[in-house]
Amino acid sequence: MAALEPKAYSAPDKPLRFAVIGAGMAGILCGIKLREAGFDHFTIYEKADRVGGTWRENTYPGIACDVPAHLYSYSFAPNPEWSHRFAPGDEIQAYFETITRDYGLGRYIRFGDAVTRLRYAGGKWNLETAKGHRDTVDIVLAATGVLHHPRMPEIEGLDTFAGPCFHSARWDHGVSLEGRRVGIVGTGSSAVQIVSAIVKRVRRLVLFQRTAQWILPQENPPYSEAEKEEFRRNPRRIYELREQLAQGFVEHFSNVVVDADSPQLRLLEAMCLANLENNVNDPELREKLRPRYRAGCKRLVVSPDFYQAIQSPNAELVTEAIARVEPRGVRTKDGRLHELDVLVLATGFHVDRFLRPIEVIGRGEKLLDDVWNPRPYAYLSVAIPDFPNLFLLNGPNGPVGNFSLIDVAELQLAYILQLVELIRAGVCREITATHEATARFEKDRAEAAKKTVWVTGCQSWYLDDRGLPMAWPWTFDRFRKVMARPTFEDYALAL
């Protein structure tokens, strides 16, 4: 840092202005930490009518987080009221709404107005929204999230289905499931949670499986009133529990999947295998549910009761490929028509959108769409060359697959604010990652990715067009160390 001081410029004569894009977990965090750092000139732009991000968008039956609740909370805002070890979605949504209210962020949020264009010119970012609002800011913090652009399957005749048909992230709560025949396409976390939640309510449930999933058996016990009262009286107990959960999560899962040869991964695989062998009675069904790849290659699905649910008398697992959808149901390639009243598409998300579909124009009129062709990238997942003063939380190549994203966002934002401090202090007016540093990071990341379990023989949303994982391929300890302090030489500073 000392090497930069001789180049110091005069500090800005006006307070720095920020635009935060998104009022989900990361956007709320930005608002809190900006105010804490003494920045009060910012607007949080939210396309929807309330905060919450993915927890606002996803309201399907059974939705819950697969990270322990006391770990999936802001480190500075513990919640003694979590009802279970893994919190249901409505409690997480309520938590973010409460945090927004308690920290007075409402006055900073512009609801119901999506950002459509960002253009860098004259050392400023010029912002436009769908409603025609315009803003000019010094710094943009993109907190746009990952899991919020639903991926619709390409199935012939999908639009001909006569009954209700919707994506799991666009759940239609006006549709009754009681006593009806319900089909679910997909077998990821959403589908597994939905199956367990609705199987006892429906007359018939048909789960269309393209790829079997390894299921990690995790019980979800409730917190007793005595435990919650202890949390209320002694918040220190929550911090102790959080630290305990974090250590276990990192040591037994996060750090394990980045080393395909680790003995801990073998133990994790044994747990998943025992779960299948011990809990699925019918040999034919057991083989249908047996994945042909290593546990952890796809994101592990956590469930205490999926195998029990799919063995219900009214449930059927269909592994024959779907030929087409017809008005009365789904026809598989063996010619069979599975008659249905409701069709649910639990087919995941476009995970490579990040800032898009916003039109982003950087220095020299460079279009982000062009820069991110064929794939998105960012230096340490937070900065993109030629897009000065634009920083991303949970951006490309970040630790999306195997860490608590709240922990990730807190570390990233602390890192970003150290860069912002250079602008506030007058060291520079523009800061952007260099091409050299970004290329080096990408080369190292791609090489390390080859050692992870994600490349051991499966197709997953972790993989890019080259078949390489898009996620952070190192340990969480390394991520924490890298985020502790920027390597300032990897950034270009300018007037």
What is the predicted pLDDT for the residue at 86? 95
The b/e string for 243-254 (b: 16+ C-beta within 10 A; e otherwise) is eebbeebbeebb
Distance CA 183, CA 206 (A): 5
Distance CA 273, CA 449 (A): 25
* Strand 115-121 with 390-392, pairing: unpaired
Task: Tell which CATH architecture fits domain 158-214+258-345.
Answer: 3-Layer(bba) Sandwich (3.50)
**Measuring CA to CA, which residue among 137, 55, 128, 46 is closest to residue 90?**
55
Distance CA 29, CA 148 (A): 18
**Which amino acid, residue 418?**
Q
- Residue ranges per structural domain of the chain: 2-149+350-494, 158-214+258-345
* pTM for the predicted model, two decimal places: 0.95
Distance CA 450, CA 65 (A): 28
Q: Which residue matches tokens 């920045």?
A: 39
Task: Name 140's bridge partners.
Answer: 19, 390
Distance CA 192, CA 212 (A): 11
Q: What is the pLDDT along the chain (495 residues), one digit of tens a residue?
A: 333 443 555 677 789 999 999 999 999 999 999 999 999 999 999 999 999 999 999 999 999 999 999 999 999 999 999 999 999 999 999 999 999 999 999 999 999 999 999 999 999 999 999 999 999 999 999 999 887 789 999 999 999 999 999 999 999 999 999 999 999 999 999 999 999 999 999 999 999 999 999 999 989 999 999 999 999 999 999 999 999 998 888 887 778 888 888 898 999 999 999 999 999 999 999 999 999 999 999 988 999 999 999 999 999 999 999 999 999 999 999 999 999 999 999 999 988 888 999 999 999 999 999 999 999 999 999 999 999 999 999 999 988 766 789 999 999 999 999 999 999 999 999 999 999 999 999 999 999 999 999 999 998 888 888 988 888 999 988 999 999 999 999 999 998
Q: Which two tokens stand for residue 259?
A: 């080393």
Q: Which two tokens stand for residue 369?
A: 């769409």
What is the predicted pLDDT for the residue at 146? 83
What is the predicted pLDDT for the residue at 3? 38
Distance CA 14, CA 239 (A): 39
Contact residues for 423 (Cβ-Cβ < 8 A; gap 6+): 12, 16, 138, 139, 389, 429, 430, 431
Check for a shared fold between 2-149+350-494 and 158-214+258-345: yes
What is the predicted pLDDT for the residue at 10? 66
Find out whether the peptide bond into 357 is cis, omega within 30 degrees of 0: yes
Please state, as a whole number, how many other Cβ atoms lie within 10 Å of the Cβ of residue 266. Answer: 13
Backbone angles phi, psi at 292, to 5 degrees: -105, 30
Torsion sign, CA atoms 137, 8, 433, 259: negative
Task: Tell which CATH architecture fits domain 2-149+350-494.
Answer: 3-Layer(bba) Sandwich (3.50)
What is the predicted pLDDT for the residue at 1? 35
